[in-house]
Structure 1
Amino acid sequence: MSNRSEIEKLLTQFTPLEMDFKRIYEQTGAPVSENDFMKLLKKYGRMPHTLKEEFQTVIVSNSSDIPADFPRDGQFSDSQWFLEHEDISVRKHPRYSPASYHTHGFIEITYVLKGTCHQDFRYPGGQSEALKLPEGSLCILPPKLEHRVMLFDDSIMINLLIRTSVMKNTLAELVAGGHALFDFFLYTLYENTRPNYLLFHTKGDTSIRDLILDMINESCMEKQYSQKALLLMLGLFFTYLQREHSEGVQFSRTTSAGITYIPQILSYIQQNYAETSVEDIARHFSFSTSYLGRIFRENTKTTVMDVIQQVRIEKACELLASTRISVQNIAEMVGYSDVTYFIRMFKKHIGITPLKYRKNI
């Protein structure tokens, strides 16, 4: 594969596994049952790993064991969907596949490349939600969110699977850069005790569409440093979302009403960190301080004051690294009138004093 039009053409074709799924659906009027799914996985050996592999010769397995790819108790593990060397996997969602609820420990991003699909969610406490996703819809699913996909026509959905450790340890450094919306991604994906999706309606955004097709191509080429290339593409992907679609993000209906304010609050802190306080923020958004605190307690594992301190220290680090301004003046610039208190807060967050930090840089 070498260009996007060839990839799109290949994506529209039915793979051998999809044809088996479709045949059963047309015969029974229902998705593949658990027993039939297990039989098919024994026939094929396992779920195809890449688009390229989907069209390769069928792997025949003589094992009588339950296939490794079948989720026990609806819970997928990383090892069932990632090769050992992989942190990012790009796949086409098999059409007519079983519509069973499941969870997993990794992050999943679903993108409707063509047509329409249905995605359902179940939340702790018995609540549920059903979405009809038109072309261009992009949904970010955090770990442990119970969900299912229903795709029983010629529509095409692409799945980007990302190990949680990548988002925590690498992607934040590569892409976040203090951006309020990406900070919110981190809170929602990892700190929220009630997992909820994030939905973007990218519609005719060709930048997102083309980049996803390029990621499919990269995953199929199997060249050296392919995972590194995919990680950089993923960073660009999140940058496009931040830059072009920050205003259109949609949250789960089960999310508390206050969570929709968090990106705005984070953005306000980024712009006013040196002069603002919890009271100022509450007044700006016409909240009581107790309501503002409750929003953060319900939806994150941090406080408004902790975020203010974090942003101030991050800005101080930038000034220490890029200027020769004195520590006392930097303290004042980022919002600390007491330099001793600033040094104490800096050491608490960074582990060393400002002067030691500058010397190391």
Structure 2
Amino acid sequence: MTDAELDLYLRKYTDIEALLAACDTPENKEALKQEYHIHFSDTFDDAMFIPPGQDITFSVHTRFKPVASHRHSFIELIYIYSGECRQTINNKSVSMKKGELCILDTNTFHSIEDTGKDDIIINCLMRKSYFDWAFLSRLSGNDIFSGFLTHAIYENKHSNEYILIRSGDNDKISRIMNAILCEYFDKQPCTDEIISSYMVILFAEMLRVYKGDVNERNYSALKNTQITDIIHYIQDQYKTVTLESTARHFNFNSNYLGKVLKKITGNNFIDLVHQIRLSQACILLRNSDVSVQKIANEVGYENINFFYQVFKRKYNCSPAEYRENSRRSGF
């Protein structure tokens, strides 16, 4: 799909948009809206909108139809492809123009006003699990931004914030978004891998252009513990890293660091290390014929039996079965 084909695809009316656009009176339009209205609770769960087995999905907002105030358990990225978007976020009026983005934290109430034919709004919905350690470790360049995402994903609180990125003049972001949407709406081999790579680039570019301030919030705990730097360190040293070596590197007491990581991520230090090691093991299993023994040693496990135990506990299958299943499915 080319950029021109993407533009035609996004501007083409859906059936409901065609009916709404053809309404000759406000009364008829309102009646049609009610006919197509689906009654939801004010909280949208990710299972309602993100297909099973996927962590990210894209959709085009229905034009000519406002959306009532709601919140959701997933993280939402709103991108204005064309026109504008007027919404209310936590009782605050927020206007967005072409090329701008907004990231909504979990449990953030927002509503969208009526839109016109040129108001093309892209919704990117992401489960918390989409942001793995490799992704988060690359967000250390901006404490507010990375703190926001870390909080949204791992804090056991009712989050309700957002970040507005005034990127309307940033051609690079629009090119990245076009590339992502072309891949998503015209799927090819390796589409998921390409989109994942583009998303890392997109968020990195968003870090560069982000100049604003999040709603008033105390990020001192995250700043003081340098959480994304710590994640990056663990990711880099995962084969031999220990809580003690990490604490020494960041000049922390090891007990204190362990408690901070547990509070922020919900996992013990060793669980974080296992997660990173197993993720690396899966990459090798999918993409090489290296023996399971060598893979276990390569990712930091000296005891092969222990590697089998933690792998099966995580993936509910043996490493060999994982390799066979991934190749059978064409992953």
Instruction: Bin the TM-score by the shorter chain.
Output: 0.5 to 0.7
Change (3 A) 1:160 1:354: closer
Deviation track 1:150-209 (CA, whole Å, cap 9, x = no partner) reads: 999xx97834153x6xx478xx4xx96943358989865555433243555646432322
Q: How many residues are matched?
A: 297
Per the alignment, residue 274 of structure 1 pairs with 239
Matched-pair contact (CA < 8 Å) for 1:7–1:217: no
Per the alignment, residue 180 of structure 1 pairs with 136
Deviation track 1:264-294 (CA, whole Å, cap 9, x = no partner) reads: 3222222110121222223323333344344
Per the alignment, residue 71 of structure 2 pairs with 103
CA–CA distance in 2 between the matches of 1:135 and 1:291? 46
Change (3 A) 1:334 1:177: same
Per the alignment, residue 314 of structure 1 pairs with 279
Between 1:180-189 and 1:255-264, the stretch displaced more is 180-189
SS at match of 2:61: strand
Matched-pair contact (CA < 8 Å) for 1:90–1:215: no
Per the alignment, residue 104 of structure 2 pairs with 141
Give the Å deviation of 1:302. 2.8
**Identity score, percent:** 23
Change (3 A) 1:113 1:258: farther
Structure 1 runs not aligned, ≥5 long: 12-47, 123-127, 219-224
1:334 aligns to 2:299 (yes or no): yes
1:89 aligns to 2:52 (yes or no): no
Change (3 A) 1:66 1:130: closer
For 1:281-320, what aligned pairs fall within 5 Å after superposition?
281-320=246-285
Change (3 A) 1:145 1:300: farther
Structure 2 runs not aligned, ≥5 long: 51-56, 140-145
Per the alignment, residue 142 of structure 2 pairs with none
Per the alignment, residue 265 of structure 1 pairs with 230
Change (3 A) 1:215 1:352: closer
Per the alignment, residue 38 of structure 1 pairs with none
Per the alignment, residue 344 of structure 1 pairs with 309
CA–CA distance in 2 between the matches of 1:334 and 1:101? 47
Per the alignment, residue 244 of structure 1 pairs with 205
Change (3 A) 1:276 1:64: closer
CA–CA distance in 2 between the matches of 1:259 and 1:276? 21
Give the Å deviation of 1:306. 1.4
RMSD, aligned α-carbons: 5.4
Per the alignment, residue 290 of structure 2 pairs with 324
Per the alignment, residue 217 of structure 2 pairs with 254
For 1:96-175, what aligned pairs fall within 5 Å after superposition?
101-104=69-72, 107-111=75-79, 121-122=89-90, 136-147=99-110, 158-162=121-125, 167=127, 172=130
Between 1:300-309 and 1:349-358, the stretch displaced more is 349-358
SS at match of 1:88: strand
SS at match of 1:179: helix
Matched-pair contact (CA < 8 Å) for 2:137–2:235: no
CA–CA distance in 2 between the matches of 1:349 and 1:80? 25
Give TM-score, length-normalised by structure 2: 0.60
Whose radius of gyration is greater, 1 or 2? Answer: 1
Change (3 A) 1:299 1:204: farther
Matched-pair contact (CA < 8 Å) for 2:244–2:254: yes
Give the Å deviation of 1:90. 1.8
Matched-pair contact (CA < 8 Å) for 1:181–1:242: no
Which AA in structure 2 matches 1:140? I
Which AA in structure 1 matches 2:77? I
CA–CA distance in 1 between the matches of 2:319 and 2:181? 45
Matched-pair contact (CA < 8 Å) for 1:103–1:146: yes
CA–CA distance in 2 between the matches of 1:217 and 1:291? 47
Which AA in structure 2 matches 1:56? A
Change (3 A) 1:272 1:144: same
Change (3 A) 1:199 1:182: farther
Change (3 A) 1:51 1:281: farther
